Structure 1
Amino acid sequence: MPEQSPFDLAEGDPFGPHNLPYGVFSTTDAPGQHRIGVRYGSHVLDLSALPSALPAAIHPHAELLTAPTLNPLLAAGRPVWQQIRAAVHSAVTDPTHRDEVAPLLHPLAEVTLHLPFEVADYVDFYSSEHHATNVGRIFRPNGAALPPNWKHLPIGYHGRAGTIVATGTPVVRPNGQRKTDTDDAPVFGPSTRLDIEAEVGFVVGTPSVLHEPVGLDAFRDHVFGVCLVNDWSARDIQAWEYLPLGPFLGKSFATSVSAWITPLDALDHARTPPPTRDHPLLPYLDDASVEPGGIDIRIEVRINDETISHPPFSAMYWTAAQQLAHMTVNGASLRTGDLFASGTVSGPEPDQLGCLLELTQGKGPYLQDGDEVTLTAWAPGPDGARIGLGEVTGRILPAPTLPGRDAT
């Protein structure tokens, strides 16, 4: 039987010509050379070599494609993103290019994937009404589930950009302080309530000017693409530290992202109106007259290969465009490589919850050492196609023992 051509994808492959997500990879013969690639089926197209193969189509942008990270491409702006995307689409679909392009396709199983961009700032939001309500009922059973500001602004916090890691990177159980209601004083040691948070992240390309807010209608001019995010959370450390300022050590030890960034333009057919809102919005957040800001992304959460949840991103109360507008309304500037995440994605049904805190009503069990968590997702594309988002996987390793201290 003749070997199947890498251009001939299986029917329904979610990484077909309508997707074309960007990443960074290396090969075994040059492990220190990081190259920009685009995923096509079960192969990676080496974009650093594409200008030589198809000079007429992509040569003006050769310098962007030979960088070791996506950041120069991210900074180039939407017109360039669209030109390169069109050239890549032609490269993998036009039969006249096959002889030149075929040598540039590497089997996915034979390359190493890396964090695809240098992260500038990281902001995490809290934008699922279902998640926020569920958590509020767990922590405040006798009070209001949502804080009074929740439906007036997208709540968020700044995370730690330096601990964002690529899928496949092990996650070491964090040490920290924790205190239960029955403890007389806080204790120190490994988190016993290690959790996941299934989220969707947005990668900023074009920066903005300090003191100039980014409006809802400028979202596409600044956001390059989308990726899956697992914002690992130590619930016991978080519960003891988060009042009065918010998440800190319970979140900052690791956040995992996909190795593939799906261009925003690939998700055009998945755009959908957000849920009906029952509170009036201030003008800078009022999206009634702009492009529908919701995205129909369907997430699957697996622990040790067992599916535990299917969170729907279309149910998010606050959209990514509103998050971006709120993040900059005070004049804060965007930088190339900024990442902002949606917060835990949860839906209204019991099998649509995006973290173990919700799935177990706060009772556990939580993650054990050796557990492996995988997030996958897809969105509707044109002509019934599926647009796959790159998976996010992480395995839990035991907490380290600190020098001179027993952390058991």
Structure 2
Amino acid sequence: MESLYVLLILLAAFIASFIVAIAGAIQTQYFNFSIPPGVNQPGMLRLLFAFMRSTSALGKILEKIGVCSQITFTRYLHNGKKLRPDPQLSQQDERFDGVPVRVYRPRAPASGLRPGAIFLHGGGWLYCSIDSHEKICRCIAKGGELVVVSVGYRLAPEHKYPAAYEDCLNASIHFMKNAEHYGVDPANVIVCGDSAGGNLAAAVSQTLAGRSDLPRLRAQILIYPGLQALDFNLPSYQQNQGVPPLLREHAAFFALQYLNGDASNVQEILEGSHIPPDMRLKYRKWVNPDNIPEKFKVRGYKPHKPGEFKPEVYETVKRFCEPSLCPLLAEDARIQQLPESFIFTCEYDVLRDDGLLYKKRLEDNGVRVTWYHLEDGFHGILSLYDNYGFSFPSGKKGLDRIVEFIKGL
């Protein structure tokens, strides 16, 4: 009995010490990170990031003591939970060609077939789920009066590239072939995604553009997409390298985890040592800071000289040059076939310039582009427009513009 009492005392002491350590970490992170003053609700963002850093530290502790991996713990926090039913929508969990999906349908009667949207969630290919993006999908379904299919693709690092791309492609094809069963006009289907989901949406759109056996996509909506892994020193990567929640090093980490399930070469990727000089020259016409308007460089930009090329690193990452992984590298002939596009970028986002470069590529190839730039936005802000204690109303402006674009198609 005495030994049990001692054990309980030790356990209580450990919990108290842990709480103090977490509180200290939050305080340290809150004051040590420089959040640009132009960001929407900078104090709230600093607090959110301090919380994220603290939970990351907890994940590392849990991994070290053998409870679970850090990625598993982070997924638990980010994956969200299924919301209560919405009286304006019917929703059903299904499988499209073996891929889990959730279908949202407005309950209000329609005069004919509705438009449809395929939604691919973000999360760096490692995190998030159908549940985590349910608010966005419901908002699009209700505001745009269309059927939304949210795709639960396989996640890295357990399922490396091209698993997520293949799941999204297969689910999209299944939906397009069976659209009328869901009351959807097969000639009025959109593909949409945020962050890593924006990458997947762009890749799926490019692949479907070459299919003659399916109706043409009506549009693609790319929300702060990551579209290339050649240059992590573009102006936006330099200016926003420490702006949460997506730091510059995180962008490279996620890309490597998706590609190989191994992020040991992050530093070489950040330095640019992973791309042969001749290949860098080949793609310079598309991945080039000179293609970024000067107004986006005023917050600071220093031209970067790539590190010394390392062939052994290139051998592990050479698939970065595949358009289904880095859509910005697709040939002009494929870009010219793409549907009308909506590109959403945020000023304080490392991925801002990926979106700007793709916007230019689309426009140069005759594709109609609607661009919305959130001046005070940061990466992931749409998911946080109504996020319990951490809410950033500016994100709702972006979501409203997306709905407005859909209704105008």
TM-score over 0.5 for the pair? no
Larger RCO of the pair (alpha carbons < 8 Å, separation 6+): 1
| TM-score between both structures, scaled by the size of structure 1 | 0.25
Higher strand share: 1
Higher helix share: 2
| TM-score between both structures, scaled by the size of structure 2 | 0.25
